Structure 1
Amino acid sequence: MPRRDLLEGPTPIQRLQRVEDALGSSLNGVRIYAKRDDLMSLGGGGNKLRKLEFLLGDAAAAGADTIIATGGRQSNFARLTAAAAARLGLACELVLSRMVPRCGDEYDRNGNVLLDDLFGARIHDLSSGVDSTRFAEERAGELRLVGHIAYRATLGGSSPVWSVGYAACALEIQAQSNSLDIDFAAVVVPNGSSGTQAGLVAGYRALGLDATRVRSHTVLAPAASAIAATVEKANAVLTLLGFGASVGLDDVKVSGSQLGAGYGVSTPAMVKAVRLMASQEGLLLDPVYGGKAFAGLLADISVGRYAAGDNILFIMTGGSPGLYAYASDFLGADDTKALNP
């Protein structure tokens, strides 16, 4: 498939030894590893770059000179699309909508939004209630009239083509698992628009491995909706890759326990998880995706969902610029600074 190289090679897998030490006996013998997909040099890094390799490959095949991306005000996808467009010499327009009940300079002008501007993207800041998909379609039409070829990505970039990046990541994980001689009982990710989990599920199925090892915590939709969307995308990826195999509802494991009040709305468990990772490992989780997923992983361990001796791989999907847009949720949250297993 058409692909534009945006990564520097496989991202490392590291054991979270100090997190394990802090949790102590509450781990019940479970070992936690992190796959550092936040460690990518372009644009601040993050899982969207794996997907953008194929999305921008598709755009290049279509002869596009402009990329139009849609997302929330603090979209990681928008940030990395802008960064990748800058690297590849493409014009970039971002259609940002109000998906989270937050406002003020902290949220509206900081974090990813600041970086969008630095990367040279043209930002369309939509008011609440404006249809971002329709706006992007109309904007693409306007650009065509003046001689440009605009490639319009779906909301958050989620599509079968986009998800191929994490089917490739499944192969990368398996190669690293063999090299490290570590069998991962589960691979844990956040589930937003389902693309990351769908790609991994498709990749595991294509490799003839147990797709139920891929587990997620939804941060956007109710669990049932996230499962259905993941199944649909995973099967579309398998079709794109030419595999006759398919997955069903029983092959996709999604928990809704960390969703809280909704997308982009902080929870006490997320704040604790972010503080734990930062204070023990010096690593940054984002508040919207990774923070909630890591909180879910810790909760699952605490209730005995994993057996003693299990190795669990948590994929760090990046997005740390979003922390600056949520500063007030962490500053002054003194009661969450210490973890009490």
Structure 2
Amino acid sequence: MHLARFPRVRLAHLPTPLEVAPRLSEMLGLELWIKRDDCTGLAGGGNKTRKLEFLVGAALDDDCDTLVTQGAVQSNHVRQTAAAAAACGLNCEVILEERTGSRAEDYMGNGNVLLDKLFGAAIRFVPRDTDMTAELEKTADDVRERGGRPYVIPGGGSNAIGALGYVDCAREIVVQADEFDLELDRIVCATGSAGTQGGLIAGLAVMGADIPVLGIGVRAPRPKQEEMVFKLATETAVMLGRPEAVSRDQVVADCDYVGEGYGLIDPGVVEALRRAARTDGLLLDPVYTGKAMKGLIALARSGALQGETVVFIHTGGAQGLFGYQSEIGDLF
């Protein structure tokens, strides 16, 4: 697992801390550690920065001058991509899908959208259920017609190149666990576009670290989510020269906590945001870590995680809270 073989741009503050959450641990009846990938630094931090180190590295290696990507309106990935482009002297073109159907002023103009604009990204909004792959191709063609050299990054930065960022995170977690003499029972993360969970699974498998990764789904039903994760983890293992390392039984996603849909808030998410903030001072986001913590709390209360030592991947996204002020501001 020699990651120096791949083009890379150093954008993140690494390694990110691994910190115990003592009051959440007591409340949930387990030993909970937080992998603070909200502290990666770029644009306020978040998990996409790890992926962008390899994706932007590949873009520069290909002599591209414009990053092209897509996401939902309050996309954390788009925010960090726009910042990475600015930091590397690149242009950035983004397509934002109105995926939740919200037209609230704060949702459409505050939070991550405000930061996208501040970083200088060219933004185009499209309706829900738009073919985003086709829109990426169209935007890339537009850049070429203007004489630019586009590099297309899929939603979430989730391809095998981007997943290398979470191969590296898997290595960090194992090193830090050894330093703290922690025997980990499992790693828990939000899983959506699959790059974080897929990269972790591939990295742990290639290292031979027998630590299960549980993804808490934020969008797709379990069969679809697990298939996406398995496909990406396998592709990542192939890039690492170990195609046999990943097996289907290593991929587990619990998609019982999606609620009404991607980016939609429910009382369980609000409780998770409140609990994390008021026990251990952790700011979660409403779309990913809020739903992952909602699932973790429910699983702990069911006894499924009793007495375990668990690492929760904090993938960042608190900037998105400001896009949901009109929806959740009065619920605390």
TM-score range, shorter chain: over 0.9
Partner of residue 136, structure 2:
136
Of 10, 18, 24 in structure 2, the residue corresponding to residue 19 of structure 1 is 24
1:129 Cα deviation after fit: 5.0
Q: Which residue of 2 aligns with 1:58?
A: 58
Tell me the alpha carbon deviations over residues 293-335 of structure 1, each in whole angstroms, 9 at most, x when there is no partner: 0111111111111242x211101000011111112332222xx
Task: Report whether the alignment pairs 1:6 with 2:5.
Answer: no
Alpha-carbon distance in 1 for matches of 2:250, 2:135: 36
**Matched residue, 1:329:** 327
What are the superposed Cα offsets for residues 89-111 of structure 1, whole Å, 9 maximum, x if unpaired? 10111111111121120210011
The match for 1:270 is 269
* Paired AA for residue 284 in structure 1: L
Shift of residue 250, structure 1, vs aligned partner: 1.6
Cα separation, 1, equivalents of 2:255 and 2:201? 18
Amino acid at match of 1:119: F
Deviation at 1:116, TM superposition (A): 0.2
Contact preservation (8 Å) 2:68, 2:136 = yes
2: CA distance, partners of 1:155 / 1:39: 21
Partner amino acid for 1:258? Answer: Y
Counterpart for residue 3 of structure 2: none
Structure 2 match to 1:311: 309
Moved more, 109-118 or 295-304: 295-304
Contact 1:76–1:319 (8 Å) recurs in 2: yes
Give the letter aligned to residue 317 of structure 2.
G
Give aligned-pair identity as a percent: 40
Q: How does 1:57-96 map to 2 (within 5 A)?
A: 57-96=57-96
Local SS of the residue matching 1:148: coil
The letter of the residue matching 1:332 is D
Write the distance in 1 (CA, Å) between the matches of 2:300 and 2:326. Answer: 29
Q: 1:285·1:291 contact (CA, 8 Å) conserved in 2?
A: yes
Query: Aligned equivalents of 1:125 and 1:220: distance in 2?
Result: 20
Q: How high is the TM-score relative to the length of structure 1?
A: 0.93
SS in 2 for 1:18: helix
Alignment CA distance shift 1:282-1:307 (3 Å): closer
Supply the RMSD in Å over aligned alpha carbons: 1.4
Q: Which residue of 1 aligns with 2:179?
A: 179
Single out whichever of 53-62 and 230-239 deviates more from structure 2. Answer: 53-62
TM-score (ref. length: structure 2): 0.95
Task: Indicate conservation of the 8 Å contact 1:206/1:245, yes or no.
Answer: no
Residues 148-297 of structure 1: pairs in structure 2 closer than 5 A: 148-210=148-210, 213-297=212-296
Per-residue CA deviations over 1:24-74 (Å, capped at 9, x if unaligned) read: xxx34x111101000122101000000011111111111100001111111
Moved more, 284-293 or 132-141: 132-141
Q: Please say if residues 190 and 292 of structure 1, whose CA atoms lie closer than 8 Å, have aligned partners that are also in contact.
A: yes
Q: How far off is 1:186 after superposition?
A: 0.8
CA distance in 1, matches of 2:158, 2:254: 20
Q: Which runs of 5+ in 2 are unaligned?
A: 1-5
* Matched length: 327
- Give the distance between the partners of 1:137 and 1:46, measured in 2 at CA: 26
Q: Is the 8 A contact 1:205 1:245 kept in 2?
A: no
Structure 2 residue matching 1:184: 3-state secondary structure? coil
Checking the alignment, whether the CA contact within 8 Å between 1:96 and 1:132 is kept in structure 2 is: no
Contact 1:70 1:157 in 2 (8 A): no
Matches of 1:101 and 1:144, distance apart in 2: 31
Q: Could you say what secondary structure the match of 2:39 adopts?
A: coil
Residue 263 of structure 1: SS of its match in structure 2? coil
Distance across 1 between alignment mates of 2:181 and 2:159: 33
CA distance in 2, matches of 1:78, 1:208: 33
- Does the 8 A contact of 2:13 with 2:39 survive in 1? no
Report deviation, 1:262.
1.0
Q: Which moved more, 1:229-238 or 1:35-44?
A: 35-44
Amino acid aligned to 2:328: F
Distance in 1, matches of 2:261 and 2:36, equals 26
Return the alpha-carbon distance in structure 1 between the equivalents of residues 128 and 25 of structure 2: 43
Residue pair 2:48, 2:77 contacting (<8 A) in 1 also: yes
Structure 1 unaligned residues grouped into runs of 5+: none
Q: In the alignment, residue 159 of structure 2 is paired with which amino acid?
A: S
Seen in structure 2, the aligned counterparts of structure 1 residues 299 and 172 have a Cα distance that, compared at 3 Å, is same
CA displacement at 1:281 relative to structure 2:
1.8
Deviation (angstroms), 1:187: 0.6
SS of match in other structure, 1:284: coil
